[in-house]
Structure 1
Amino acid sequence: MLNLIARGASASTTETPGDDWLLPADTIWIDLLNPTREEELAVERALAVDLPTREEMAQIEPSSRLYQEAKATFLTATLLAHSQHDHPTSVPVTFVLARGVLVTIRYAELKAFTIFTARAGENHDLTSGSEVMLELLDAIVERLAHVLEAGSTAVHESSGAIFDRPSGGAFEPLLTGLARTQSVTALARASLVSLGRLASFAGLAHEIADAPACRAHLTSVQHDIGSLTEHASALASHIAFLLDAALGLINIEQNGIIKFFSVVSVALMPPTLVASIYGMNFHHMPELTWSFGYPMALALMVISGIGPFLWFKRKRWL
């Protein structure tokens, strides 16, 4: 899908390029979402640039993700996608600044792009691709901030649930929730680190380097990215602490259960021994003929069972 936003336009338009397709005048943003090969070739002809393929976008080497070629600047970042789903992922997104136009290439729906597209229709002050890119980076960073804020709220609730939880309560939902929050936080932090590298290299683009307002805007974006990266690191550390605390409490409860059964087993050993002795079928057992032999055996079993219990109490093992 090939979406365009022109200077001063109130909404984006969707194009279906053919062999003789020409880029409309005053276009400042070309958004390629799951583009076909024909759409890629049409944009390449219009801007005289060679767009990276999906496989090239997935490369992890900085030289393959951040480079300048044919008077165009190519910037690829790994962004968080589907953060509200059960299985969040990271997807590569490429930003290309060429001839005053921003080209974005992506293969996933991203909420930040949807929000920015609606916002761009109301903002008629955007006049160039570099301004669109900086505003789009703002929207992406803002979206990541919302994700981390939601994660902080979830972690705070999990913290209270773990330490205020009644004995015997289920830990599985808490651990599952923390694990999911940890996954989203890790992906968000990876996105922020990737955006930080992108923002540093973006300053080399002449569209930004030659515009003081764009340089100032980029510096502000970099500060926001740095602050959120620190926040994500602190949140990840807090989650790790809560996971360790939850596992520690589970071990304490399990140790208490094992201790209880161990004490019961030891306490029942002497009565079992007495019962075993008097359960033997030997003819010559003098106690078998005593009239008080049965109550004596019962009393001996009770006393032998109480003895270990009192010993454990004295040693403060109970």
Structure 2
Amino acid sequence: MMNLLRRATRGFVPHVVSGEWRPTDDIVWIDLQSPTPEEEAAVEAAYGVDLPTREETARLEPSSRLYQENGATFLTATLLARVDEPHPVATPVTFVLIDNVLITIRYEPLKAFTIFAQRCAHVPVNDGGDAALELLDAIVERSAEVLELQSSLTHETSIAIFNRPPSTAFGPLLTDLSRAQSITSMVRKSLVSLSRLTSFGALAPEFQRDEARRSHLTSIQHDVQALTEHASFTSGHISFLLDAALGLINIEQNSIIKFFSVVAVVFLPPTLIASIYGMNFKIIPELHWAYGYPWALLLMVISGVAPFIWFKRKGWL
């Protein structure tokens, strides 16, 4: 799918490639979402660049995702997609700046792109350099929103762990923490790639020639750095809560095992006495004793209560 953003119009305009395509001078942004080979070929022919395919982007090393070629600046970052779905994914997104036109190549729906496209319907964008900066702002804002959501979830889970009623199941809490940890880790990975992207992006002519844009890019770098630290803190907090939950599970299990161990020890002496007097030997001294039965019961009670009192004095109960 190819979407175009022009200076004269506000908002994206879908475009269908048919035959030879010639871009107009008012194009600011070309967004290629899961592009067809025909769409990629049309953009490559129009701007004289070689756009990376999905397979090429996946095979690129992190150090090879940022480069300049034929007057174009290629910037590839890993962004988080499908956060609101059960299984979020990290997807590569390529930004190409050439002749003050921004070209983006992505293969997943990204909420930051949708938000920025909606803004463009109300606020016009002058050229590709401004579009790139505003889009990066939207991506950083979306990352901050996701991190804030995970932080809130972590705080709620923390309260649930330490203020929960006894014998509450830990399964749902551990599941929530594991999901929060996974999303936070992917957001941090995305922020690290964004940090490298913004550092290399400063070399693009669209930014070098404009002091205001360089300042804007520096501001984005500071935001990315702050969010990276926030993600690291949240990840550490989640790790602590996971360890705390597992520790509480062990404590509860130990308490249960201790309870059954004490019960077993308490009933062991009475069971021994009952076993002795329950043997079917012909000659047992107390067999015909009138007080044999109450005596055996008394012995069983004393032998059961004595260990219980001893455990209580030791503080084991």
Q: TM-score range by the shorter chain?
A: over 0.9
The one-letter code of the counterpart of 1:254 is Q
1:17 paired residue number = 17
The one-letter code of the counterpart of 1:221 is I
Cα RMSD over matched residues?
0.9
> Does 1:294 find its partner at 2:293?
yes
The one-letter code of the counterpart of 1:5 is L
2:238 paired residue number = 239
Q: What is the DSSP-based 3-state SS (H/G/I as helix, E as strand, rest coil) of the residue aligned with 2:35?
A: coil
The one-letter code of the counterpart of 1:265 is A
CA distance in 1, matches of 2:200, 2:184: 24
Q: In structure 2, do the counterparts of structure 1 residues 54 and 21 end up closer, same or farther at CA, with 3 Å as the change threshold?
A: same
CA distance in 2, matches of 1:147, 1:8: 34
2:39 paired residue number = 39
Give the paired residue count: 317
1:263 paired residue number = 262
CA distance in 2, matches of 1:191, 1:91: 9
Contact 1:8 1:127 in 2 (8 A): no
The one-letter code of the counterpart of 2:52 is P
TM-fit CA distance, 1:26: 0.7
CA distance in 1, matches of 2:248, 2:311: 24
TM-fit CA distance, 1:58: 1.4
> Does 1:65 find its partner at 2:65?
yes
1:28 paired residue number = 28
Contact 1:2 1:15 in 2 (8 A): yes
Pairs within 5 Å for 1:191-202? 191-202=190-201
TM-fit CA distance, 1:17: 1.3
Q: What is the DSSP-based 3-state SS (H/G/I as helix, E as strand, rest coil) of the residue aligned with 1:77?
A: strand
Contact 1:96 1:104 in 2 (8 A): yes
CA distance in 1, matches of 2:269, 2:62: 73
1:253 paired residue number = 252
> Does 1:315 find its partner at 2:297?
no
> Does 1:115 find its partner at 2:77?
no
> Does 1:187 find its partner at 2:180?
no
The one-letter code of the counterpart of 1:175 is L
1:148 paired residue number = 147
Unaligned stretches of 5+ in structure 2?
none
Moved more, 7-16 or 188-197: 7-16
CA distance in 2, matches of 1:306, 1:56: 76
Residue identity over aligned pairs, in percent, reads 61
> Does 1:4 find its partner at 2:4?
yes
CA distance in 2, matches of 1:9, 1:253: 64
The one-letter code of the counterpart of 1:263 is V
TM-fit CA distance, 1:60: 4.6
For each residue in 1:79-104, what CA deviation from the matched residue of structure 2 results, as whole angstroms up to 9, or x when unmatched?
00011111111000000001111000
Q: What is the DSSP-based 3-state SS (H/G/I as helix, E as strand, rest coil) of the residue aligned with 2:185?
A: helix
CA distance in 2, matches of 1:135, 1:282: 96
CA distance in 1, matches of 2:8, 2:158: 49
Contact 1:97 1:129 in 2 (8 A): yes
For each residue in 1:105-128, what CA deviation from the matched residue of structure 2 results, as whole angstroms up to 9, or x when unmatched?
00000000001001012112x211
> Does 1:54 find its partner at 2:70?
no
